[in-house]
Structure 1
Amino acid sequence: MTPARILSIAGSDSSGGAGIQADIKTITMLGGFAMTAITAITAQNTCGVTAVEALSPAMVAAQIDACVSDIGVDAVKIGMLGSAAIAQVVADRLEGLGVPVVFDPVMVATSGSVLADAATVAAFERLMALATLTTPNVPELVALGGDEALRARGIAYLAKGGDAEGEMVEDRLVVPGAEPLVWSAPRIATRHTHGTGCTLSSAIASSLGRRVPLVIAVAQAREFVRKALEAAPGFGAGHGPMGHQAVRPN
């Protein structure tokens, strides 16, 4: 069976727990063929981000063009973008591509480091409009205007509840024209949560690339993340990485 071709447009995590590295692990474990367009290089580990250097928008565009023109793409995942100019050039390249797009509007790392300035967040508007699904966490949803604003703009989104309070984690899928769908599960008590958002969004993209319906794709991705959290290897002194390599797809 030919694997789904999944393009991740995101930043690199030197410690391997999040970003491009988490996306490659996730896509590969789920049977896809992972390709990348790196937007920024970060020096980071489980304790925080110590340096960020964004690539040029032209280089990001060149990476996308190289993948699309030869290998082809079945779905796209967007993560950390690095600058407003990169966000705009990514939107330019994806408009009219005609494949599912999952946009994880990364603003702050799990460690608390800021990864998107105000101009970059403002540029997210085009990407949310073209995305099949946007996956904000609690503070990202607030920064994007909240439920009312996204619904008014007709944005399909998955409101993630992992960083909310409580013993239960609630994720809410909101799609224009349909009733919201809610998943609820007991919180997994662990500090090894580095890369959860990256993993979830790339897992959804992997399923969409195989033409799995959106609701099923979200359910499968949630289960993959939970299994990876439970299989965390215990590395690092801070928010450690998950155990992607220990998860076997159903």
Structure 2
Amino acid sequence: MTDSSAPPVCLTIGSSDSGGGAGIQGDIKALASIGCFTATVVVGLTAQNTTGVLGRHPVPVDFVRAQFDAVRADLAVRAVKVGTAWSAEHIAAIADLLSGLGVPVVLDPVMVSAAGGDLAGADARAELIGSLLPLAEVITPNVAEARLITGDGTSGARTLAQRMIDLGAPAVVVTSGGEDDGDWFADGLSLVRLDRPNHRTGAEHGAGCAHSALITGLRAHGFPLPEAVRTATELASGAVRDGLTSVGRGVHPVDTLGLPPRSPRRRVPADHV
């Protein structure tokens, strides 16, 4: 019997960001901010900070499966986010694991980081389209990722959203990163622009991860998909607005937790003066 007072459990499948701003670490923070407990399956490690991705190391597929099996054996997962999947072999394994799971799956096909790192090879595209797209409830690429997936290298978010639907995505949110075209949601029945403020704070690292994680958590809480998308868009925009511009020397991290903009000055006890 499920305890209605317990936090919903979400599973995030993706990569570690050693800088802490995006990836698995960013997902945990975003999900915690809306009252979710987060389990993880780490598919790969990155040597990464706010200036870029400096190194990559995939986790063997067998150990990806072992992590998933351990989580499923013990935790009642209510929704899943899939982030960076690294290779066609990893994508096929993840699709196999998620098949028949029966919970909302949010696919954030992370291929290009905010700091400019290329996180996926071209050989993964066909596997992602063929195996993961049909399992996902919603896909959340940015414009650059949607262009890579669709092969349309020039269109804006509105056209790319429809092209993703044509590829087989049941629903999609294409985020523009502040381009004039805006963010667009499509589900095969409607094509809707998602209005949000365009905050140029220099603190966008982890924005896409936070956005997709927030959609995942809100779906775990029972929000209908359109409402989850609108709310997550608003919350992710606020995380950029309130981004941690004092952290890092490159693209600063977003803030989903409402952290103070800087650490308070330590007070020295009187007897130490």
CA contact (8 A) 2:196 2:237 kept: no
> 149-158 or 78-87, which moves further after superposition?
149-158
Normalising by structure 2, report the TM-score.
0.85
> Computing the radius of gyration over CA atoms, which structure comes out larger, 1 or 2?
2
CA contact (8 A) 1:14 1:43 kept: yes
For residue 47 of structure 2, give the secondary structure of its aligned residue in structure 1: strand
Residue among 115, 120, 124 paired with 1:116:
120
Normalising by structure 1, report the TM-score.
0.93
Name which structure has the greater RCO, CA cutoff 8 Å, separation 6+: 1
* Pair 1:160-2:172 in alignment: no
Q: Which amino acid aligns with 1:160?
A: T
| Aligned match of 1:205 | 216
Deviation at 1:147, TM superposition (A): 4.2
Unaligned runs of 5+ in 2: 151-159, 260-273
CA RMSD of aligned residues (A): 1.4
CA contact (8 A) 2:138 2:173 kept: yes
Q: Which amino acid aligns with 1:151?
A: I
| Aligned match of 2:257 | 245
Q: How many residues align?
A: 243
Q: Which amino acid aligns with 1:226?
A: S
Residue among 98, 114, 117 paired with 1:94:
98
Hey, what's the Cα distance between the residues in 1 that align with 2:178 and 2:145? 11
| Aligned match of 1:34 | 38
Deviation at 1:236, TM superposition (A): 1.0
* Pair 1:236-2:248 in alignment: yes
Q: Which amino acid aligns with 2:70?
A: A
Deviation at 1:84, TM superposition (A): 1.4
Unaligned runs of 5+ in 1: none
For residue 52 of structure 1, give the secondary structure of its aligned residue in structure 2: strand
CA contact (8 A) 2:19 2:48 kept: yes
Structure 1 residues 225 and 147, CA, compared in 2 at 3 Å: closer, same or farther?
closer
For residue 236 of structure 1, give the secondary structure of its aligned residue in structure 2: coil
Deviation at 1:121, TM superposition (A): 2.2
| Aligned match of 1:187 | 198
CA contact (8 A) 1:192 1:242 kept: yes
Deviation at 1:148, TM superposition (A): 4.8
Instruction: Return structure 1 stretches of 4+ with deviation > 3 angstroms.
Output: 146-149
Q: Percent identity?
A: 36
